[in-house]
Structure 1
């Protein structure tokens, strides 16, 4: 023991020595070591139960055959007793190195588990056959399976997707594994999977795992962030910035952005309209009925002008942008059809029957701005409003 005490502990470790008797209770633990000579009156099987499976039991003996047949399953090493005095320091140094290696491995595994399981992202490790070697808790939540039912399984089993269904679908999860292996570097993908929570959109990072030689790939590791809700928020924000919240038509602000980007130097027709007696209806029957009229107007616009850009300019004012060089007589026919269909829809409610749409139409050959075109159609609309009762007027430069 004097020699062993002189051996320097491993970095970050200390060691202490205790002489124990048969009656003592030996503590359990990974870094406990029990060293016995072959004269110790102990039952090795019972000793192993006391110290636990992770402790080390070492016997110093020159005649291991006398007890090894019975004790072999419980003994970790045998040190020759005759040469122990000369080999004591060496044997003990190697033992300490082994204990440190095992403790470091346990700590690394513990650090990994704690880290991946506290993250909300799905994490998995796969071999080259596509089998999941290890996954984190978030992955199990997503697939609604226990780790024991995931590890060692392939993508199709885990996500409950028959291979033939997967091959006919737009899923790309398995194919991206091949892409990562070919690229030999970390890659980022947008993927979709059918999880226990429904179809989910994932932002997935995948990277190859290299063997000790630094060249051979032995598997992949993936981290997937569920961006379904984020994508929905983004879509909602984009929709709100582009659409009128009441009617679903393009709003005025986004229309000007759209027109500046898409309609430069094009032959255009713009149709402006407003609803006659709408203000009177709103004041008499309230905004709820007024909103209903506006929704009906938007629906009829989209029904008659399905391929054109319908805009709610504000209040009871609407616009239609036609950018395909359509003949004016065809535009006028569509406007008239809209006016008739709108009036028929509004006549279904006695309170709405006096509402009608007055319309102004202006055309440009591409030599002016969209704002100029809107002004011209507004002038034509003002002329139609003078007559009222659901009229339309074409701007011809003389209004």
Structure 2
């Protein structure tokens, strides 16, 4: 990917030696340029600047190092450094013995080339890593064996609302702002899963929760041990966490929409059928309801008020029958599944209690006070299909409608007003 032009700045070195260096073959992706320089010159700054000195007289070594920067290379060719102040020696990256330098020039130069290539490759690898992890929307972190964060990506900093300099070198409790005693008394499992990874010595997947700057977040987290190059001892871990909070919320919303009636939030017809089908191996009670005169009410007062009536009915169904299995089958038709096969008296009493409570609620509005809800009761036997149970409920409800005024009828008996 990269191409590097190295600039070699030479001063006080025998021309034969310089020629050996000039004739050396550059490594792949590298080219060489050689320059002589005087003490009055200001050299460029950067990793690609290499200064080779055989004569340091009259040179300001600290100034020279400042010119090429910490990433440039400053090399002294000398047999003795006694004439150099000790503090100036620290500015040099290497000292090549000048005696027999002609014989070892190619060796030293090749080693220098290899070093420069390794540094460039390391820079490229680091760049790859940084660009990759900071582009990801997922949180990425690296920890040492003690659990201290060595490095994190931008998404991690966003989640904890801290800068990298505030995160790196810190533990889990500090970063997430959770006192250790609070953590230990909560359901958080981040630290414990780190220990599991160390024991498993392989990548592990976890569902975790953390309190982030955006509130409580649900995470799908991969944690992988990092092994030492030689001993294969675990020296740390790398973690990648995907925030699935919204995904779970969306999934919950989709699930709710597929099973609920949008207007009343009761179960819809399809999901109610599924409930009856799952329970058809047992006896149960099915209650059917419809609103007497609802069609005329809608025509007279309009659909917005009609929708309000349907919502009131739904709310009272939820209050009267806490089974959570109340449904709107369509229009003004409602049904309730009761998992027990109630006696006639109990079933009828529960229906009457609901009808009376609903009538009281509707009576608060003069436009609604004349509305009544008729009911049908079915004792479903084991093996009865949902279609058959709903049909029997409809037949009972039809007979109740003929009586009217908030009647209740069993599927096998005459209606009672």
Instruction: Tell me by how many angstroms 1:112 deviates.
Output: 0.9
Tell me the equivalent position of 2:230: 213
Select 1:174's aligned residue among 191, 204, 208.
191
Alpha-carbon distance in structure 1 between the residues aligned to 2:253 and 2:39: 74
Q: Deviations over 1:9-32 (max 9, x none)?
A: 223222221111223231111132
Cα shift readout 1:333-379 (whole Å, capped 9, x = no counterpart): 10010000000000000000011110011112214212111111111
Q: Give me the TM-score of the superposition, normalised by structure 1.
A: 0.96
Structure 2 SS opposite 1:64:
coil
- Equivalent position of 1:157 in the other structure: 174
8 Å contact kept, 2:341–2:379: no
Select 1:266's aligned residue among 277, 282, 290: 282
2:349 maps to which of 333, 336, 341: 333
Unaligned runs of 5+ in 2: 1-17
Task: State how far apart, in whole Å, the 2-side matches of 1:31 and 1:389 are.
Answer: 95
**1:48/1:74 contact within 8 Å kept:** yes
Question: Root-mean-square deviation (CA), in Å?
Answer: 1.5
1:48 counterpart residue number: 65
- What's the CA shift for 1:40? 4.0
Q: Does 1:57 align with 2:74?
A: yes
SS at the partner of 1:193?
A: strand
The answer to whether 1:393 aligns with 2:409 is yes
1:35-81 superposed Cα distances (whole Å, 9 cap, x missing partner): 11135431111111111111111111222111142421211122222
Is 1:21 matched with 2:38?
yes
Match of 1:103, SS state, is helix
Tell me the residue number matched to 2:336: 320
Provide closer, same or farther for how the CA distance between residues 5 and 334 of structure 1 changes in structure 2, counting only shifts above 3 A. Answer: same
Counterpart of 1:283 in structure 2 is 299
Please give the TM-score of this superposition, normalised by the length of structure 2.
0.92
CA contact (8 A) 1:277 1:354 kept: no
1:353 aligns with 369
Residues 295-343 of structure 1 deviation map (CA, whole Å, 9 limit, x = unaligned): 1111111111102511100011000111222222111110010000000
Q: What is the distance in 1 between the residues matched to 2:59 and 2:241?
A: 54
Give aligned pairs, total: 398
Structure 2 CA distance for aligned equivalents of residues 310 and 32 of structure 1: 79
Alignment of 1:370-381 (within 5 A): 370-381=386-397
CA contact (8 A) 1:127 1:133 kept: yes
CA deviations 1:74-93 (Å, max 9, x no partner) are 11122222221111111111
**Maintained 8 Å contact 1:61/1:80:** yes
Tell me whether 1:225 sits opposite 2:225 in the alignment: no
